[in-house]
Chains A and B, each alone.
Chain A
Amino acid sequence: GQQLNQSPQSMFIQEGEDVSMNCTSSSIFNTWLWYKQDPGEGPVLLIALYKAGELTSNGRLTAQFGITRKDSFLNISASIPSDVGIYFCAGPPQGAQKLVFGQGTRLTINP
């Protein structure tokens, strides 16, 4: 079935560093969503992207919808301890109502 390839799978960084992760698909998406999941919790929507080329920020987070509509990236600037968690990209395949998810990027921050 439809899959999103998300990388990296895990990241170990120092507090204060910037983080970048991305998501690619073999087919076109009209919407890209980025979620964060803390342990034992449901995912929380961080940023939603609806237009190719769109660049959207939410505080220290910035995400872009790739021009080809087959990729998206999420950047976190000046990481802090509460950024720890698993980040998922997601999107609905064309014509579908449901979401497919990337495999997730597990972010660990060393103080």
Chain B
Amino acid sequence: GAVVSQHPSWVICKSGTSVKIECRSLDFQATTMFWYRQFPKQSLMLMATSNEGSKATYEQGVEKDKFLINHASLTLSTLTVTSAHPEDSSFYICSAEGLAIINEQFFGPGTRLTVL
């Protein structure tokens, strides 16, 4: 149980384009999902908290107009990187918090974004 999937697993795009990343909880419902980014050899940095049916809460320094988050259902959250630039290249990981145990987050496999 508690499986989280992400799609795509990797994406290469040109500078200026937008990229959408999907995060799904496959066998449980998640009212809250989280989006992280991770640079090489660094820890995970929380970007935003996504709550089903409401606006996402962004961490300080994260541009909400650049990283659009939509949590339309209890099993799906999407992150759209708008007008991507090379500095947005990173490993993006989502996690979902189960309904049964608060604070226990289950992570997706990550999406490697490379912006040329």
Interface residues of A (CB under 8 A from B): 1, 31, 33, 35, 40-45, 48, 88, 91-92, 97-104
CB-defined contacts of A35 to chain B, threshold 8 Å: 107
Q: Is the CB of B34 within 8 A of A40?
A: no
Residues A104 and B103 in contact in the complex (CB < 8 Å), given A42-B109, A97-B32, A97-B49: no
Would A101 and B43 count as touching, CB distance under 8 A? yes
Q: Name A43's contact: one of B44, B97, B102 (CB within 8 Å).
A: B44
B80-103 contact mask (Cβ, 8 Å, vs A): 1 or 0: 000000000001010101000111
**Roughly how many angstroms separate A48 CA and B11 CA in the complex, as a whole number?**
33
The answer on a CB contact under 8 Å between B110 and A42 is yes
- B42: chain A residues at CB < 8 Å are 103
CA distance A104 to B42 in the complex (A): 8
Contact pick for B107, options A40, A42, A48, CB 8 Å? A42
Interface size class of B (residues with CB under 8 A): 20 to 34
Known: A40-B110, A88-B44, A98-B49; 6 extra A-B contacts, CB below 8 A, are A31-B103, A40-B112, A42-B4, A42-B95, A42-B107, A45-B104
Grouping DSSP codes into helix (H, G, I), strand (E, B) and loop, the B interface class, with mixed when no group exceeds half, is strand
Are B93 and A99 within 8 A (Cβ)? no
Interface presence of B19 (CB below 8 A): no
Most chain-A CB neighbours within 10 Å: which of B95, B104, B105, B112?
Answer: B105
Chain B residues positioned under 8 Å from A42 (CB to CB): 4, 6, 93, 95, 107-110
B110 lies within 8 A of A41 (CB)? yes
| A–B complex contacts, Cβ < 8 Å, 6 sampled | A42-B93, A43-B44, A43-B93, A45-B107, A97-B103, A99-B103
Question: Which listed residue, A41, A97, A104, touches B43 by the CB 8 Å rule?
Answer: A104
Count chain B CB atoms within 10 A of each CB in A42, A98, A99, A102 and give the residue with the most: A42
State the 5 A-B residue pairs at the shortest beta-carbon distance, nearest first: A42-B107, A42-B110, A101-B43, A31-B103, A43-B107
